[in-house]
A and B are shown apart, each in its own frame.
Chain A
């Protein structure tokens, strides 16, 4: 990884360890390894809900005492920083791990959605955007061109719908470049960048980096990584399913390798990705 990315030590005070990534970049794999690590390295049953989930309406209602579906999107968005603070105040756990797909965003009044004062730090997982495009297309059941278009869409938001009630809270996503650059440059909290490709090369080593950053015990890292290999997770999903899979997807744990984008994307789409995201890709050593 290029040297301009800041590597800082995690703060001691904050409770939240944010596991941040653009979708289909290895976040769930890291969550499963961390869940295993926190249980001493045991295999995790992925047919059951796994820890460090994305914020949802149930938590919004629990902490705010209000019927969330009677609120407008703007009212819910404005309350996000306070929701994070409320969860931190109510937590008995010294570390709250949460998966995040949001970009690094601000409320309409200019407040950070992820308040630094309750944040221990952010682990930012990044993956070659060409591979992300192929994986996104499978995940959402869309064609490759649509996936590449999605990755260039500044206005893209997950779980914001004027059509159906979503369980997750809405997550402003932005384009792939905006997502990566926003977190790496402007998180205002300690940040640990992790590359998906490095997780593939040595998952135990990358897990240990994350565990050290978050202040977790390191002893069981190798065991947790071995219990959570991609092939293991894929086998589990084939047998018992995985509840975080999208309905349009055949399987969540699909290939788990790098370089697929260069093989499968037609040249015009490869060129489009480089044109739209080349500057950020260069920072991360992807071109």
Chain B
């Protein structure tokens, strides 16, 4: 499972992650190798199958009362996430792989569900968004699952944008600005989208055994924070209608929060509600927010991309 050639540390949604094995979907941590302590250590070990007195639990996730969590996907493995008491800046992820689990499956769960929990535990709001960079500025495509965030980001890449993150994104709101941070280097797409975007078969990498969704490496933006100037909330519209893009203003432009925040219930169970509000309103202060009403069929994908690009240029 280890690979001597892999970089020592990875850029994990803005945090420095040290992994014992190769994580091809994550960018390497920039800068020279050093002995600096990482913010997240991933290691192999035994993980508990449950936590005492959980704040929140489901068949897949338990959030403990002591800044810890367990994620279990039976055929992939168990992830135990906890903050160390000696150094609150460091998060440990202990992985107990399931027999026969593939590394790409572990990476899929690590960079989705587990990453969201790590960010919530560290009070870094994970957005349910795929981001691209164009002309030095970031565009976030947000919305609930299955609304087409990844497909739209990939379509924007076809128009010359560069992928910044897929499905899970982090925006840094500080010093009077909002900046989107890099996430994974790949977009995870379903066959209908890959076919429509003519992704060659050899560029489709598995995410789970026997699962139709594949990871596709797209041209990525330089590893730095980019000013987030446009946030597009994708909503399901009436079948047959042309997609429309509508400018939104003020606090209502953020409602419902549940469609913007990744694993929002977990963040709420950790008492992050006030932080969530400050963070989202901070984004709204700096980024132009639009809603894109589109059907769930792919035929309008190009039109949606054109609408967003038109708004993006108008907001420049």
Q: Which residues of A line the B interface, CB within 8 A? A: 47, 56-58, 61-72, 75, 79, 82, 86, 161-167, 241-243, 245-247
Contact = CB atoms under 8 A, between A and B. Distances in A.
Given A163-B190, A165-B190, 9 more contacts: A57-B145, A61-B263, A64-B58, A65-B61, A70-B213, A72-B75, A72-B208, A167-B145, A167-B147
A167 B296 contact: yes
A57 B116 CA distance: 17
Contacts of A64: 58-61
Given A61-B263, A64-B61, A86-B58, A69 B238 contact: no
Interface of B: 56, 58-61, 63, 71, 73-75, 108-109, 112-113, 116-117, 144-147, 167, 188, 190-193, 207-213, 236-241, 258, 263-266, 295-298
21 contacts: A61-B263, A65-B265, A66-B58, A66-B61, A66-B71, A66-B113, A67-B112, A69-B188, A69-B213, A70-B73, A70-B207, A72-B210, A75-B73, A75-B75, A82-B59, A86-B58, A161-B212, A162-B191, A164-B193, A164-B298, A245-B238
A243 B237 contact: yes
A247 B297 contact: yes
A47 B237 CA distance: 10
A153 B116 CA distance: 40
A69 B145 CA distance: 8
A47 B240 CA distance: 13
Contacts of B63: 65
A63 B112 CA distance: 16
A107 to B, nearest CB: 12
B201 to A, nearest CB: 15
Contacts of A57: 144-146
A163 B192 contact: yes
Contacts of B237: 243
Given A75-B74, A163-B212, A62 B146 contact: no
A57 B144 CA distance: 9
A42 B271 CA distance: 39
A247 B240 contact: yes
B236 A167 contact: yes
A70 B191 contact: no
B223 to A, nearest CB: 24
A81 B266 CA distance: 21
A243 B146 contact: no
Given A65-B266, A75-B73, A241-B240, A70 B112 contact: yes
